[in-house]
Structure 1
Protein backbone atom coordinates (compact mmCIF):
# COMPACT_ATOMS: atom_id res chain seq x y z
CA UNK A 1 0.00 0.00 0.00
CA UNK A 2 1.18 3.51 -0.71
CA UNK A 3 1.83 6.06 1.92
CA UNK A 4 -0.49 9.01 2.19
CA UNK A 5 2.27 11.39 3.19
CA UNK A 6 2.54 14.44 0.95
CA UNK A 7 5.72 14.60 -1.07
CA UNK A 8 7.85 17.68 -0.70
CA UNK A 9 7.98 19.56 -3.99
CA UNK A 10 11.28 20.98 -5.19
CA UNK A 11 11.64 24.24 -7.10
CA UNK A 12 13.58 27.47 -7.30
CA UNK A 13 13.31 30.03 -4.59
CA UNK A 14 12.75 33.64 -5.49
CA UNK A 15 16.42 34.52 -4.77
CA UNK A 16 17.68 31.73 -7.03
CA UNK A 17 15.33 32.82 -9.80
CA UNK A 18 16.53 36.44 -9.59
CA UNK A 19 20.18 35.31 -9.73
CA UNK A 20 19.50 33.22 -12.85
CA UNK A 21 17.72 36.15 -14.55
CA UNK A 22 20.63 38.51 -13.74
CA UNK A 23 23.18 36.03 -15.12
CA UNK A 24 21.20 35.52 -18.33
CA UNK A 25 20.93 39.32 -18.70
CA UNK A 26 24.69 39.77 -18.32
CA UNK A 27 25.38 37.06 -20.92
CA UNK A 28 22.88 38.58 -23.34
CA UNK A 29 24.41 42.03 -22.98
CA UNK A 30 27.98 40.87 -23.57
CA UNK A 31 27.72 37.90 -25.94
CA UNK A 32 24.62 38.93 -27.90
CA UNK A 33 26.16 41.69 -30.03
CA UNK A 34 29.10 39.43 -30.94
CA UNK A 35 26.86 36.59 -31.99
CA UNK A 36 24.13 38.59 -33.70
CA UNK A 37 26.01 41.74 -34.77
CA UNK A 38 26.26 43.08 -38.30
CA UNK A 39 30.05 43.00 -38.52
CA UNK A 40 31.10 41.91 -42.00
CA UNK A 41 27.62 42.12 -43.54
CA UNK A 42 28.48 45.24 -45.55
CA UNK A 43 31.50 43.53 -47.13
CA UNK A 44 29.51 40.45 -48.14
CA UNK A 45 26.70 42.57 -49.59
CA UNK A 46 29.10 44.74 -51.59
CA UNK A 47 31.00 41.67 -52.80
CA UNK A 48 27.78 40.23 -54.24
CA UNK A 49 26.89 43.51 -55.96
CA UNK A 50 30.36 43.87 -57.47
CA UNK A 51 30.43 40.26 -58.70
CA UNK A 52 27.05 40.80 -60.32
CA UNK A 53 28.27 43.95 -62.10
CA UNK A 54 31.45 42.24 -63.30
CA UNK A 55 29.53 39.24 -64.66
CA UNK A 56 27.04 41.51 -66.44
CA UNK A 57 29.84 43.46 -68.14
CA UNK A 58 31.55 40.19 -69.07
CA UNK A 59 28.35 38.88 -70.68
CA UNK A 60 27.89 42.11 -72.63
CA UNK A 61 31.45 41.84 -73.97
CA UNK A 62 30.82 38.26 -75.05
CA UNK A 63 27.55 39.15 -76.80
CA UNK A 64 28.88 42.23 -78.63
CA UNK A 65 31.87 40.85 -80.52
CA UNK A 66 32.26 43.96 -82.68
CA UNK A 67 33.10 46.46 -79.93
CA UNK A 68 35.96 45.83 -77.48
CA UNK A 69 35.08 48.21 -74.68
CA UNK A 70 32.98 46.58 -71.96
CA UNK A 71 34.28 46.54 -68.41
CA UNK A 72 34.49 48.66 -65.26
CA UNK A 73 36.45 51.66 -64.02
CA UNK A 74 37.57 51.89 -60.39
CA UNK A 75 37.84 55.10 -58.37
CA UNK A 76 38.21 55.75 -54.65
CA UNK A 77 34.44 56.05 -54.20
CA UNK A 78 32.78 54.20 -57.10
CA UNK A 79 32.93 51.28 -59.50
CA UNK A 80 31.47 52.45 -62.80
CA UNK A 81 30.44 50.17 -65.69
CA UNK A 82 31.90 51.03 -69.12
CA UNK A 83 29.53 50.45 -72.03
CA UNK A 84 31.51 51.51 -75.10
CA UNK A 85 30.90 55.22 -74.64
CA UNK A 86 27.18 54.88 -73.90
CA UNK A 87 25.81 56.89 -71.01
CA UNK A 88 25.55 54.78 -67.86
CA UNK A 89 22.52 55.45 -65.66
CA UNK A 90 23.33 56.35 -62.06
CA UNK A 91 21.58 53.24 -60.71
CA UNK A 92 24.24 51.02 -62.31
CA UNK A 93 27.17 52.81 -60.65
CA UNK A 94 28.26 51.05 -57.44
CA UNK A 95 29.15 53.49 -54.69
CA UNK A 96 31.77 52.12 -52.33
CA UNK A 97 30.46 52.48 -48.74
CA UNK A 98 32.55 54.82 -46.59
CA UNK A 99 33.50 51.98 -44.22
CA UNK A 100 35.02 49.97 -47.08
CA UNK A 101 38.00 50.24 -49.41
CA UNK A 102 38.44 48.42 -52.72
CA UNK A 103 41.94 47.41 -53.87
CA UNK A 104 42.75 45.80 -57.22
CA UNK A 105 45.86 43.65 -57.67
CA UNK A 106 46.99 42.38 -61.07
CA UNK A 107 49.94 42.42 -63.41
CA UNK A 108 47.69 43.86 -66.13
CA UNK A 109 48.64 47.47 -66.91
CA UNK A 110 46.45 50.02 -65.09
CA UNK A 111 44.19 47.34 -63.58
CA UNK A 112 43.73 49.45 -60.44
CA UNK A 113 41.99 52.09 -62.60
CA UNK A 114 39.85 49.73 -64.66
CA UNK A 115 39.54 46.48 -66.57
CA UNK A 116 37.83 45.36 -69.77
CA UNK A 117 36.61 42.01 -71.03
CA UNK A 118 37.38 40.63 -74.48
CA UNK A 119 34.88 38.74 -76.65
CA UNK A 120 35.83 35.48 -74.93
CA UNK A 121 35.03 36.92 -71.49
CA UNK A 122 38.67 37.12 -70.35
CA UNK A 123 39.88 40.11 -68.33
CA UNK A 124 42.16 42.45 -70.28
CA UNK A 125 43.63 45.91 -69.78
CA UNK A 126 41.87 49.18 -70.57
CA UNK A 127 43.97 49.44 -73.75
CA UNK A 128 42.09 46.49 -75.26
CA UNK A 129 39.91 48.69 -77.49
CA UNK A 130 42.97 49.93 -79.40
CA UNK A 131 45.23 46.86 -79.00
CA UNK A 132 43.36 43.52 -78.91
CA UNK A 133 44.47 41.20 -76.12
CA UNK A 134 43.95 37.47 -75.73
CA UNK A 135 43.09 35.31 -72.75
CA UNK A 136 45.59 34.09 -70.22
CA UNK A 137 47.35 37.39 -69.52
CA UNK A 138 46.86 37.60 -65.76
CA UNK A 139 44.28 37.05 -63.02
CA UNK A 140 42.78 40.03 -61.22
CA UNK A 141 42.21 40.00 -57.46
CA UNK A 142 39.83 42.54 -55.95
CA UNK A 143 40.01 43.00 -52.18
CA UNK A 144 37.12 44.58 -50.29
CA UNK A 145 38.49 45.82 -46.98
CA UNK A 146 36.30 46.59 -43.99
CA UNK A 147 35.81 44.87 -40.64
CA UNK A 148 36.70 41.70 -42.53
CA UNK A 149 38.35 41.37 -45.94
CA UNK A 150 36.49 39.75 -48.82
CA UNK A 151 37.99 38.86 -52.19
CA UNK A 152 36.85 38.46 -55.79
CA UNK A 153 39.08 36.62 -58.24
CA UNK A 154 38.74 37.09 -61.99
CA UNK A 155 40.85 34.28 -63.36
CA UNK A 156 42.83 34.82 -66.54
CA UNK A 157 40.39 32.64 -68.51
CA UNK A 158 37.41 34.71 -67.31
CA UNK A 159 35.95 32.74 -64.40
CA UNK A 160 34.71 35.18 -61.73
CA UNK A 161 34.48 33.74 -58.22
CA UNK A 162 34.66 34.58 -54.53
CA UNK A 163 37.99 34.18 -52.78
CA UNK A 164 41.62 34.98 -53.36
CA UNK A 165 43.41 34.16 -56.60
CA UNK A 166 45.95 31.37 -56.24
CA UNK A 167 48.87 31.05 -58.58
Structure 2
Protein backbone atom coordinates (compact mmCIF):
# COMPACT_ATOMS: atom_id res chain seq x y z
CA UNK A 1 0.00 0.00 0.00
CA UNK A 2 2.68 2.48 1.00
CA UNK A 3 4.86 1.42 -1.90
CA UNK A 4 2.01 1.94 -4.36
CA UNK A 5 1.38 5.42 -2.94
CA UNK A 6 5.09 6.37 -3.29
CA UNK A 7 5.13 5.15 -6.89
CA UNK A 8 1.98 7.13 -7.65
CA UNK A 9 3.47 10.31 -6.11
CA UNK A 10 6.66 9.79 -8.12
CA UNK A 11 4.69 9.39 -11.34
CA UNK A 12 2.74 12.58 -10.61
CA UNK A 13 5.94 14.57 -9.93
CA UNK A 14 7.65 13.33 -13.07
CA UNK A 15 4.67 14.11 -15.27
CA UNK A 16 4.19 17.68 -13.98
CA UNK A 17 7.27 18.88 -15.91
CA UNK A 18 9.18 20.59 -13.15
CA UNK A 19 12.53 22.11 -14.06
CA UNK A 20 14.05 25.01 -15.95
CA UNK A 21 13.44 25.73 -19.59
CA UNK A 22 16.28 26.14 -22.03
CA UNK A 23 15.58 29.89 -22.31
CA UNK A 24 15.86 30.36 -18.54
CA UNK A 25 19.16 28.50 -18.44
CA UNK A 26 20.60 30.57 -21.30
CA UNK A 27 19.54 33.84 -19.62
CA UNK A 28 21.23 32.80 -16.36
CA UNK A 29 24.42 31.82 -18.21
CA UNK A 30 24.48 35.20 -20.00
CA UNK A 31 24.02 37.08 -16.70
CA UNK A 32 26.84 35.11 -15.07
CA UNK A 33 29.06 35.82 -18.09
CA UNK A 34 28.41 39.57 -17.95
CA UNK A 35 29.16 39.65 -14.23
CA UNK A 36 32.35 37.65 -14.71
CA UNK A 37 33.59 39.95 -17.47
CA UNK A 38 32.97 43.09 -15.42
CA UNK A 39 34.06 41.94 -11.95
CA UNK A 40 36.98 39.54 -12.45
CA UNK A 41 39.49 42.23 -13.57
CA UNK A 42 38.78 44.19 -10.38
CA UNK A 43 39.77 41.27 -8.19
CA UNK A 44 42.91 40.31 -10.09
CA UNK A 45 44.27 43.80 -10.73
CA UNK A 46 46.85 45.39 -8.44
CA UNK A 47 46.00 48.92 -9.56
CA UNK A 48 46.30 51.22 -6.56
CA UNK A 49 46.99 48.48 -4.04
CA UNK A 50 50.56 49.65 -3.36
CA UNK A 51 49.25 53.09 -2.41
CA UNK A 52 46.81 51.62 0.10
CA UNK A 53 49.53 49.41 1.58
CA UNK A 54 51.99 52.31 1.79
CA UNK A 55 49.36 54.53 3.42
CA UNK A 56 48.72 51.93 6.13
CA UNK A 57 52.48 51.56 6.72
CA UNK A 58 52.94 55.34 6.91
CA UNK A 59 50.08 55.58 9.37
CA UNK A 60 51.73 52.91 11.54
CA UNK A 61 55.13 54.66 11.43
CA UNK A 62 53.62 58.02 12.36
CA UNK A 63 51.58 56.56 15.21
CA UNK A 64 54.59 54.65 16.51
CA UNK A 65 56.72 57.80 16.52
CA UNK A 66 53.91 59.65 18.26
CA UNK A 67 53.58 56.94 20.91
CA UNK A 68 57.33 56.90 21.46
CA UNK A 69 57.37 60.66 21.97
CA UNK A 70 54.52 60.44 24.46
CA UNK A 71 56.08 57.55 26.40
CA UNK A 72 59.55 59.04 26.67
CA UNK A 73 59.31 62.32 28.53
CA UNK A 74 62.84 62.50 29.95
CA UNK A 75 64.74 65.66 29.02
CA UNK A 76 68.10 63.89 28.72
CA UNK A 77 68.62 62.99 25.03
CA UNK A 78 70.93 60.13 26.00
CA UNK A 79 68.07 58.44 27.84
CA UNK A 80 65.31 59.50 25.52
CA UNK A 81 66.46 60.49 22.02
CA UNK A 82 63.95 62.62 20.10
CA UNK A 83 62.08 60.84 17.35
CA UNK A 84 62.07 62.68 14.06
CA UNK A 85 60.20 61.52 10.97
CA UNK A 86 61.83 62.63 7.73
CA UNK A 87 59.74 63.16 4.62
CA UNK A 88 61.13 62.97 1.11
CA UNK A 89 59.50 62.48 -2.28
CA UNK A 90 60.20 58.74 -2.23
CA UNK A 91 60.39 57.83 1.48
CA UNK A 92 59.09 58.45 4.96
CA UNK A 93 61.14 57.29 7.91
CA UNK A 94 63.22 57.98 10.99
CA UNK A 95 66.47 58.22 9.01
CA UNK A 96 67.46 59.83 5.75
CA UNK A 97 69.21 56.68 4.52
CA UNK A 98 66.02 54.60 4.91
CA UNK A 99 67.35 51.94 7.27
CA UNK A 100 65.04 49.27 8.61
CA UNK A 101 66.37 47.77 11.81
CA UNK A 102 65.39 47.60 15.47
CA UNK A 103 65.76 51.33 16.10
CA UNK A 104 64.88 52.82 12.69
CA UNK A 105 61.75 52.70 10.60
CA UNK A 106 61.38 53.55 6.96
CA UNK A 107 58.91 52.96 4.17
CA UNK A 108 59.62 53.50 0.51
CA UNK A 109 58.12 52.51 -2.80
CA UNK A 110 59.44 53.57 -6.18
CA UNK A 111 55.98 53.78 -7.73
CA UNK A 112 54.51 56.15 -5.12
CA UNK A 113 55.46 59.79 -4.59
CA UNK A 114 55.00 61.51 -1.24
CA UNK A 115 54.07 65.15 -0.86
CA UNK A 116 52.89 67.22 2.07
CA UNK A 117 50.78 70.18 2.97
CA UNK A 118 52.44 72.53 3.98
CA UNK A 119 54.74 72.01 1.03
CA UNK A 120 58.02 72.66 2.88
CA UNK A 121 57.40 69.93 5.49
CA UNK A 122 60.52 67.73 5.44
CA UNK A 123 60.69 66.73 9.10
CA UNK A 124 58.04 65.87 11.63
CA UNK A 125 58.49 65.82 15.42
CA UNK A 126 56.01 65.12 18.20
CA UNK A 127 55.91 66.74 21.63
CA UNK A 128 55.25 64.86 24.87
CA UNK A 129 51.50 65.27 24.34
CA UNK A 130 51.70 63.59 20.93
CA UNK A 131 51.07 66.79 19.00
CA UNK A 132 53.03 67.28 15.77
CA UNK A 133 55.29 70.29 16.37
CA UNK A 134 55.35 71.39 12.72
CA UNK A 135 51.57 71.14 12.38
CA UNK A 136 50.43 73.34 15.26
CA UNK A 137 48.68 75.98 13.16
CA UNK A 138 46.21 74.09 10.97
CA UNK A 139 47.38 70.49 10.88
CA UNK A 140 49.30 68.71 8.14
CA UNK A 141 48.49 66.40 5.30
CA UNK A 142 50.72 63.77 3.67
CA UNK A 143 49.66 62.70 0.17
CA UNK A 144 50.70 59.45 -1.51
CA UNK A 145 50.42 59.74 -5.27
CA UNK A 146 50.55 56.79 -7.65
CA UNK A 147 47.73 55.32 -9.71
CA UNK A 148 45.43 56.70 -7.01
CA UNK A 149 46.03 59.59 -4.61
CA UNK A 150 45.53 58.90 -0.91
CA UNK A 151 46.08 61.13 2.11
CA UNK A 152 46.97 61.02 5.79
CA UNK A 153 45.94 63.88 8.05
CA UNK A 154 47.74 65.01 11.20
CA UNK A 155 45.57 67.30 13.25
CA UNK A 156 47.14 69.98 15.44
CA UNK A 157 45.82 68.16 18.54
CA UNK A 158 47.75 65.01 17.57
CA UNK A 159 45.03 62.89 15.94
CA UNK A 160 46.48 60.99 12.98
CA UNK A 161 43.90 59.56 10.60
CA UNK A 162 43.09 58.64 7.01
CA UNK A 163 41.54 61.47 5.08
TM score, norm. by length of structure 2: 0.67
Q: Larger Rg: 1 or 2?
A: 2
Q: Which residue of 1 aligns with 2:5?
A: none
What is the count of residue pairs matched by the alignment? 145
Q: Cα RMSD over matched residues? A: 3.4
Task: Tell me the distance in 2 between the aligned counterparts of 1:114 and 1:15.
Answer: 66
1:117 aligns with 2:126: yes
Task: Tell me the distance in 2 between the aligned counterparts of 1:53 and 1:46.
Answer: 10
Give the structure with the higher percent helix: 2
Structure 2 counterpart of 1:103, from 67, 90, 115: 115
TM-superposed CA distance for 1:78, in Å, is 1.4
TM-superposed CA distance for 1:46, in Å, is 1.6
Task: Tell me the distance in 1 between the aligned counterparts of 2:35 and 2:19.
Answer: 23
Task: Tell me the distance in 2 between the aligned counterparts of 1:73 and 1:12.
Answer: 65
CA contact (8 A) 2:89 2:115 kept: no
TM score, norm. by length of structure 1: 0.66
Provide, for residues 122-148 of structure 1, a one-character-per-residue CA deviation record: whole Å limited to 9, x for no partner: 2124xxxxxxxxx83341111122333
Q: Secondary structure at the match of 1:59?
A: helix
Q: Which residue of 1 aligns with 2:84?
A: 71
Provide, for residues 11-39 of structure 1, a one-character-per-residue CA deviation record: whole Å limited to 9, x for no partner: 34567645643542243022332367544
Task: Tell me the distance in 1 between the aligned counterparts of 2:109 and 2:123.
Answer: 15
1:57 aligns with 2:65: yes
List runs of 5+ in structure 1 lacking aligned partners: 126-134
The 5 Å alignment of 1:1-167 reads 7-12=15-20, 17=25, 20-34=28-42, 37-62=45-70, 63-66=72-75, 67=77, 69-82=82-95, 89-91=99-101, 92-98=105-111, 100-106=112-118, 110-111=120-121, 113-125=122-134, 136-163=136-163
List runs of 5+ in structure 2 lacking aligned partners: 1-7
